[in-house]
Amino acid sequence: MPHYRRPLIAASFAICLAALPVQAHHGWGSYDAATQLTLDGVAEMVNPDNPHGELQLKTADKSWTITLSPPSRMAARGKPISEIKVGDRLVAVGYPSRSRPNEMRAERITHNGFTVELR
């Protein structure tokens, strides 16, 4: 292979690798925006990782995975995800996943009397 093609191939490979996280990100179309849920429960797990925070919420009838907004947005709106601890009660309002029966994308949450809009 000619030496002048190596940088081009390396650059192409880097672009493909950079696109992988974008492909892995789920679109909001996978949630049913026509059905709004209000879930009241206790946090069983809190995951502050990017690109979206996530928590496991135990309600009276089952455990839900709640997809939150990015941690930086939550902090900017006055509710850092680090304030939510396992065992805390909260209310999440949002839309159920079309493909995962125990998942919801939260539009807002209320924790310790403070409501934050996530989207």
- Which DSSP string do the residues of 47-89 spell out, in sequence order? E--SS--EEEEE-SS-EEEEE---HHHHHHTT--GGG--TT-E
Rounded to two decimals, the pTM is 0.75
Binned at pLDDT 50, 70 and 90, residue 1 comes out as: low
CATH number of the 29-117 domain: 2.40.50.140
Q: What is the pLDDT of residues 27-71, one digit of tens each?
A: 667 899 999 999 999 999 999 988 899 999 999 999 999 999 999
Segment 61-102, tens digit of pLDDT: 999 999 999 999 999 999 999 999 999 999 999 999 999 999
Which tops the pLDDT comparison, 21 or 105? 105
